[in-house]
């Protein structure tokens, strides 16, 4: 299959390598690139850390004060983020099964006695501070995604000629950017041969208006579950 990877780097390259190893032809065009914010001044002494993405882990790893936080309990949305935290030197990592609701339930059960640091993206779909109230959550904007301005020429050609078999989406915003750029490029009608693979129902929502061959959703919000949806090459 010819597949489009839309994730930001460096995750896009890692995913493309996995797909290529399975025999797929891969086009990589991130729908956004990540820009990290400067190290914040607060909080001085968090009691725990809440992480929902690998980019949040990358942001933490850039902060000098984070060296002193690596012994703190860290709660992650899923296994992949937990692995990234451990690789970054955090010892007490608790992985959720995937999804915001499960993460909220896990943190509520742990009930850290003090402020919970949440390094977050500028654009986020859930207000974890509100969901975890009355626990104290200190939300820090740690990074933002800068949207791509246009589809690359090889992507528009593949769509327009009906030679894009599938596209993979890991975030709602990435899916929305793709849908908008496909419409702007005038190639959305060419998606009739393209299956859109979405990590979750929320990620799939911006894709609903596209005239694609279909939108399929992983049964759990992680990379392995999404890749399991993609047929093996003939």
CB distance 60 to 66 below 8 Å: yes
Task: Look at residues 145, 179, 210 and tell me which one is the last residue of a structural domain.
Answer: 145
Answer whether 176's CB lies under 8 Å from 206's CB. yes
The residue segments making up the domain with residue 205 are 2-31+148-227
C-beta of residue 151 within 8 angstroms of C-beta of residue 4? no
Last residue of one domain, picked from the residues 103, 122, 145: 145
Hey, what are 28's tokens? 């990589």
Lookup result for tokens 């009930």? 111
Q: Is the pTM of this model over 0.75?
A: yes
pLDDT at residue number 124: 86
**What integer pLDDT is reported at residue 35 of this predicted model?**
96
Please tell me whether residues 40 and 24 are part of one structural domain: no
Q: What is the pLDDT of residue 199?
A: 94
Q: How do residues 42-98 score in pLDDT, each as one tens digit?
A: 777 899 999 999 999 999 999 999 999 999 999 999 888 999 999 999 999 999 888
Residue 150, pLDDT score? 98
The domain that holds 183 is classified in CATH as 3.40.50.10090
Ranges in the chain, pLDDT < 70 = none
Last residue of a domain, one of 127, 145, 163: 145
């Amino acid at each position: 299959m010819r597949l489009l990877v839309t994730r930001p780097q460096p995750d896009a390259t890692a995913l493309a390598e996995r797909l290529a190893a399975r025999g797929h032809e891969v086009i990589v065009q991130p729908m956004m690139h990540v820009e990290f914010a400067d190290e914040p001044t607060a909080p001085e002494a968090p009691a725990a850390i809440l992480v929902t993405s690998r980019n949040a882990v990358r942001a933490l790893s850039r902060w000098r004060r984070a060296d002193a936080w690596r012994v703190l309990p860290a709660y992650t949305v899923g296994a992949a983020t937990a692995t990234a935290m451990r690789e970054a030197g955090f010892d007490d990592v608790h992985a959720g099964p995937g999804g915001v609701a499960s993460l909220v339930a896990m943190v509520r059960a742990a009930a850290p006695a003090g402020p919970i640091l949440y390094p977050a993206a500028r654009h986020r779909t859930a207000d974890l501070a509100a969901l975890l109230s009355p626990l104290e959550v200190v939300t820090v904007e740690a990074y933002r995604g800068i949207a791509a301005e246009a589809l690359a020429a090889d992507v528009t050609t593949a769509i327009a000629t009906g030679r894009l078999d599938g596209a993979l989406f890991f975030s709602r915003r990435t899916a929305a950017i793709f849908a908008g750029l496909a419409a702007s490029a005038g190639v959305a009608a060419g998606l009739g041969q393209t299956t859109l693979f979405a990590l979750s129902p929320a990620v799939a929502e911006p894709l609903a208006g596209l005239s694609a061959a279909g939108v399929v959703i992983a049964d759990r919000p992680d990379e392995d579950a999404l890749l399991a949806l993609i047929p093996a090459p003939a």
